[in-house]
Each structure stands twice: as C-alpha cells, then as structure tokens.
Amino acid sequence: MNSRFGSRHFYAVLALGALLVLAGLGSAHYMEEHGHVVTGMTNQVVWGLPHVFAIFMIVAASGVLNVASIGSVFGVAMYKPRARLSGLLCLALLAGGLMVLMLDLGRPDRVIVAATHFNWTSVFAWNVLLYSGMFAIVALYLWTMFERAMNRHSSAAGLLALVWRFVLTTGTGLIFGFLVARQAYGSALLAPLFIVLSFAWGLAVFLIVQSVLYAWNGQVLDGAVQRRMARLLGLFVAAAFHLVLVSHLTNLYFARQAAFEAFIARDGGVFPLLLWGGYVVAGTLAPLVLLFHPRLGGLRSTLLAAGMVVLGAFAWLYVFIIGGQAFPLEIFPGFAVSSSFGDGAIANYMPRWPEWLLGLGGVGVAFLLTAIGVRALDFMPNDGLALPKSAATEGAA
C-alpha cells in the first residue's frame, strides 16, 4: 500500500486497533470472572448490547461482499477493482462479529461441545456451518482473484459466495424467525428482511472504508463511480425501509401484536426514540435526501449518508433485539399475568461498560484485520485518481 503515511503512522493506527481488541478481551475476562451480573443483562434480556454489535457486523459482512458479486458475477466493470477489498472486509467483519458473539456466551470454552455434538434441529447449529463455510468460500474467492492461473474460476467462486451469503443471512434472520418464545420475533419476513438490510449496511461500511483508504493514499474516487455507488446505497436503504415497514404493518394486522407495536413505536421510552429518531429519520430519510438530492451528491454527502446508515442500523438493532426481549411474552391472551419472577412486566435494561468494551473489541478485530490486510497484500482498488490534497478536497465538495 503506497500510503502517504509512513510506518510510524501505520503502527500508531495498529496500536489503536490493538487497544480496542485488548479492551474487548479484558471486558470478556471481567465478565467471565464476575458473571453477567456486572452487565445490564438479566434473565429476561439475555442478549444485550454485544449482540447488537455482533449481529450488525455479521449481517454487514454478508452485505459488503455484494460489491464483489456485482463485479464478478454480474460483470459490472466498475465494481471489479473493488472485489478484493470487498472480500477482505467480509472476512474481517465476520471475524469481529463472531468474536463478540462467542465471548458474550458466558462460557466460550463450551463452543467445543457445539462443534462435537451437532444438533441438526437447532438453527444455531446450522449457523456454525454457515459461518465456517463463509470463511472458506471467501478465502477461495480471494485466491481466484489473486492467483492469475485461477482468474478464470473467479466468476464461479463469486457465484458460490453469492449463494452462500444469501443462505448465511437467511440463517441469521431465522435465529429470530424461529424464536417463538419472544413475541417480537417468530416471523418468516425476518429472513428476507435481513438479506436486504445486509445490502444497505454492507455497502455503507464499504463506502466509508474505501474513502478512508483513498485518502490515506492521496487519491480520490472517480466522480462517476462515486455517484453510481451512492445511488445504489440509496436504493438499498429504501428497499430495507420498505421491508421494515411491511414487517411492522404485518404485526399490526394481528391483534395479539398490537401491544408490542405500541410499545416500541409509542410507549416504550427509549425504543420509540431510537426507532423514529435513530432509524427512520437519521438512518433512512436523512441519508436518502443526502444521496438523491441534486445539490448534495458529492463525496462528503455520500460519506455522511453512509455513516448515518450505520448509526441507524445500530438504532434499529437495539430496538429489535433489546426491545423484543424487554416486552413481556403474552402467555395467556386476554389476562393480566404477574408474579415474583417479573412475569407480565416490562424488563429494564441499561448497557454497562463491559458490554460497550466487548462490542468495540469486535470492531477493533475487524479494524486490525483490514489494516494489516491492506498493508500486506494488494487489496487496495487500483482505479483511484491521484490528486493533490487541495484538488481532492475540491472534488469531494
């Protein structure tokens, strides 16, 4: 990587990523020693903030590979130079997400039991195969792109990766779709919803990382390419919002779900604020304006929109994962249920610092793998325009 930054700057960036990883590992050790009582999680909210980070990175890992698929499988020339970086980001995000997921289980050493005693009736067990298969297939895909003798197999490997990531994201959605013990979940719509969400989240992450790499190398993305990718992000954001809306309208159609929809959309305190302010306004409507308004189509607007899409994703996942657990399960419809165990009561949850550090540790893993990969191998897109700093700034504006 012919970066304008020297080795000292690179190692400073590396140290920052390593610090995040160490903080995450230290947090996991602290929770292991003292138990999950040091977190905000309870017997009702068993998937806390770390799962928000983990699910985002796993879903985004699938979506970020869409950039490579458009180039290799569908033959769109402008995406082909970005295929290698797309594959690297897929592996990095998946590794970071799985790190958080495993360390948040409470007994990560017990993963060997899941590996040696496979339960074919469990959707969680299916995902063990899906995640490990994703690593192997993307590694093979990258090999066909790096090795000239294997270039002729790149389209076939890309098609296999495309199919596998659809299956993987479907499996992630079905973790919740098959979970009938929570009233907020248990819907077949969650599988296609997670697939479309992955398109938007993955492309948003890719645009941010790509722009940072170009800036580090004193380059700028061609304006025509930037505008096409910005419009594609806008289409993905709109499609995701459509399916989220359909999902909520479907819930409203069933009388038994009306109370839950009122909880997350109106009466649930922080959840309506995150849903309307975080996801709808900041994570959907504002990015669409930035991406499609004729006077706001520059690089800065695209990056701002991508950042807001990522923030909106975290807001939606918090409402979906935490809000879905905080709302009490309606065991006896039409009756009020209460007990000393908190049945029928809305659960209180406030994430604490070990959860934040563990989630950021997963981000640090993805950050480290990306930085080292780009530094060590030729993952950088080769179509950047070399411009002086002043000209690059004018082009971005």
What does the DSSP assignment read for 27-44?
A: HHHHHHHH-GGGSS--SS
Q: What is the CATH number of the domain that holds 354?
A: 1.20.1630.10
| pLDDT (0 to 100) of residue 358 | 95
CB 111 within 8 A of CB 102: yes
Indicate the DSSP class of residue 254.
S
Q: Which residue has the tokens 């959907």?
A: 284
392 belongs to a structural domain: no
Asked, for residue 2, whether it belongs to a domain, the answer is: no
Domain count, the chain: 1
Q: How far apart are CA 48 and CA 381, in angstroms?
A: 37
Using only C-alpha atoms, the chain has a radius of gyration, in whole angstroms, of 22
Q: Quick check: is 397 in a domain?
A: no
> Considering the domain boundaries, does residue 1 fall inside one?
no
**Residue 118, in any domain of the structure:** yes
Element (H, E) at 133: helix 123-146
Give the separation between CA 348 and CA 93, rounded to whole angstroms: 30
Output the pLDDT for position 259.
85
The predicted pLDDT at position 388 comes to: 53
What's the pLDDT at 208?
Answer: 94
Both tokens of 307, joined, read: 């950042």
Task: Tell me how far apart the terminal alpha carbons of the chain are, to the nearest angstrom.
Answer: 26
Q: From the centroid of its chain, how far is CA 177?
A: 18
Measure the CA–CA gap between 47 and 181, rounded to whole angstroms.
14
CB contact set of 287 (below 8 Å; sequence gap of 6+): 233, 234, 237, 305, 306, 308, 309, 312
User: Residue 334 — left, alpha, or beta (φ > 0 → left; ψ -120 to 50 → alpha)?
Assistant: left
- Provide the residue type at 271 as one letter: F
In a domain, 206, yes or no: yes
Cβ atoms of residues 326 and 347 within 8 Å: yes
Residue 279 CA to residue 277 CA, distance in Å, equals: 6
Q: Are 343 and 337 contacting, i.e. CB atoms less than 8 angstroms apart?
A: yes
Local mean pLDDT, 10-residue blocks, the chain (397 residues): 62 92 94 88 90 96 92 85 93 95 80 76 83 93 90 90 93 86 82 95 95 84 86 96 93 84 90 96 95 82 95 96 87 70 79 95 95 88 61 43
The vertex-85 CA angle with 80 and 90, nearest 5°, equals: 115
Within a domain: 274: yes
Residue pair 29/21 in contact (Cβ under 8 Å)? The answer is no
Q: Which residues span the domain enclosing 208?
A: 7-331+339-384
Query: Which pLDDT does position 74 carry in this prediction?
Result: 86
221 close to 211: Cβ distance less than 8 angstroms: yes
| pTM to 2 decimal places | 0.91
Question: What is the rounded CA–CA span in Å between residue 141 and residue 275?
Answer: 37
Residue 137 and residue 281: Cα distance in Å, rounded? Answer: 37
Gap between the Cα atoms of 300 and 392, Å rounded = 11
In a domain, 391, yes or no: no
